[in-house]
Amino acid sequence: MKQLLQNLKTGEILLEEIPLPNCGSNEVLIKVERSLISPGTERMLLEFGKSSYLQKARQQPDKVKMVLDKIKTDGLAPTLETVFSKLGEPMPLGYNSAGIVMEIGSNVTEFKVGDKVVSNGAHSEIVVVGKNLVAKIPDEVSFDEASLTVLASVALQGVRLAQPTLGETFVVIGLGLLGQITLDLLKANGCEVIGVDIDQGKVDLAKSNGYKALNPLQGEDPINYVNQLTDEIGVDGVIITAAAKSNGPIEQAAEMVRRKGRIIAVGAIGMDIPRPPFYAKEIEFFVSNSFGPGKHDPFYEIDGNDYPIGYVRWTENRNFQAILSLLASGSLDFKYLLTHHYKFDEAPKAYDEIMNNREALGVVLEYNSEKVKIEKKVEFGKGQIVNSSDVGVGIIGSGNFTKLIVLPNLAKSSAKLVAVSSEKGLSSSLAGKKFEAEYSTTDYKELMHDTSINTIFITTRHNNHADLVIESLENGKHVFVEKPLAVDMEQLARVTASYEKLLKVNKAPQLMVGFNRRFSPHAEFMYKNVSGRSSALAMSMTVNAGALPKDLWVHEPSQGGRIIGEGCHWIDLMSFMANSKVKSVHSIAIGQETEQAIKNDNAILNLKFEDGSIGTLQYISAGNKSFSKERLTLFSEGKVLELDNFKKVNGFGVPNFKKMGQDKGHQAEMVGFVENIKNAKSPMISFDSLVNTTLVTFAHVKSLEENREVFISELESELNELVSKI
């Protein structure tokens, strides 16, 4: 199957072959018949892609600030590498499609295979969409008209916020596709409507449908016109559907609206709100959030939970249904808005149309659904030849860590990349193609059964790690799993049982967890300077972790939390420095109640090691990005070594280490792992150490729950008991 993408560096439109996406439990798999190019949003993306780096920066000042913050903490070179990598990754286009249901998830009861539906799907021959972003198409509505449903819902949500009543007068600023639909919806509400645009063709279209419409560039003053029409009272409301960087539309709207009137921003405009007219008239101002309630809420869009209709009458999905119902009854007619049709394979021409023809409104892509390739594997035809002596790698998961860290560093090793797998297919195809894999797939089991793959890299969400580790080991594959190894005792027990079973028959492959910090040249320098000691170490590790959105997946209970999922990095680092396992943990966290404390990202772990060393891990999310993210200080026999964000080591009582660029050890870790496999060496980190670090994170949670020091031996007993029952 093919999907339409845009190269953000150049603006080029690409048609990429990708494997069939998997249909999740709350999702619907749809074969697309029509999709609509949104002339406003997608033209803006094309213009952004074709702009220079300087112009891109000027258009995104918030992103520039993020880049500057990253430069302060990580340095210039790593930051630029990340930025250019991001810009070089093509992005999907489109969000209005209509088609036929191919498959439904296990939790989906609202649809069946064969249903005609609209969705918030991209320009792709097949899309997979959360069930709350899918709605049935009535028999009376064609795929062509239905393809405007999602865009029309943006207009509908703006109108709902305006709360029009019969007989009111409204102005619509911006008469593109969104504006024309807004005119029709206001008319359906019994309102008198005035349209404003500086494009005469769009003004003429509105007039041809019976609306009053003005073009300021033709000397028509909307403010004077409104004053004359309303006897100086002003209109009841203004809906801005224009896209403009300037503050002009909102200033003009404030002049036209009556006292206590309403202004709704639907389009992307400058919003430096002029206080005098808003204050004098007590104007109500609303910013419309796309299709309606539910937008950007994972609980609604991803998990498939609906909002009770008694509390939220109009959600995204119910707005879709309302538009389709109006089309079916004839109260709305979108045929006049459909100006151009192109075959999907001619998509680049369609985008040329919207870029060069300002008269283009509804540009529809038509799909030949009968000829779509439905395969879960896409071969690139230029993969590396893999011999039996090679380390043939298959990667499960293709998120940012895979694309920015794993693949670039693996490319510096002698490993051969065979395949990349992901749930939805797009990211793995782009990554696999870029790094010259043989194929990409949405069926990770393909990697398990591929005899040219002897090593699996696992970079999925944390709660999947243990199961994938076990499956990989039992298929005879070496395993590199990005931390953590497991998120709870039951998972760790199953991994341990599987690994120990293979050890007994001398068939245990290499198992590595991505604790890269210990392989940094800075960390190795520190270790060498304290390794000959005759007394214990004192260590202080501060992690300026930064706050993450509360609804981000890492906060889900099933993922274990940030200490289990990320804090293990620095526990392992201190274990490496002490050359000793952790003996006990006593943790405290911000928060009065136990549950708050466990979930809190601001915690201090006091660690005792078996060799008598002590360490403190301060994991804090309440800091500032301009402060170093990671700082480790070692105290030992008259020496003090301080590691600052893996960029330099300050030595007191020892020679200073030569200042280097930031190096967190990823390359040394991955190259070393590959060489270990080739040369059949012992694991780079022992299995006992991996288990100890994992148990320390569990002990941290237990310490917060019970407000006491927790000894790792307690958890080892529990682990052994669980293993014995498997």
Which pLDDT value is given to residue 545? 92
User: pLDDT digits over 640-673, tens only?
Assistant: 999 999 999 988 988 766 677 789 999 999 999 9
The closest alpha carbon to 376, from 429, 416, 452, belongs to 429
pTM of the full predicted structure?
A: 0.88
Domains of the chain: 2-148+297-371 (3.90.180.10), 154-287 (3.40.50.720), 377-513 (3.40.50.720), 516-724 (3.30.360.10)
d(CA 444, CA 424): 11
Instruction: Give the residue carrying structure tokens 């009535």.
Output: 138
CB distance 35 to 98 below 8 Å:
yes
Query: How much is the average pLDDT of 103-108?
Result: 97
CB distance 469 to 479 below 8 Å:
yes
User: pLDDT digits over 500-516, tens only?
Assistant: 999 888 777 999 999 99
d(CA 507, CA 681): 14
Q: Does residue 12 carry a pLDDT above 90?
A: no
- Look at 99-108, 265-274, 407-416 and tell me which has the smallest mean pLDDT: 265-274
Tally of CB atoms within 10 A around 645:
19
Residue at 676: amino acid letter: N
Q: Does residue 15 carry a pLDDT above 70?
A: yes
Which pLDDT value is given to residue 56? 47
Percent of the chain with pLDDT over 90: 76
User: pLDDT digits over 316-336, tens only?
Assistant: 999 999 999 999 999 999 999
Token pair belonging to 501? 């079973």
The closest alpha carbon to 393, from 411, 412, 419, 414, belongs to 419
Element housing 51 (H / E)? none
| DSSP helix, strand, coil percent of the chain (3-state; round to 5) | 40, 25, 35
User: pLDDT digits over 376-415, tens only?
Assistant: 999 997 667 777 779 999 999 999 999 999 999 999 999 9
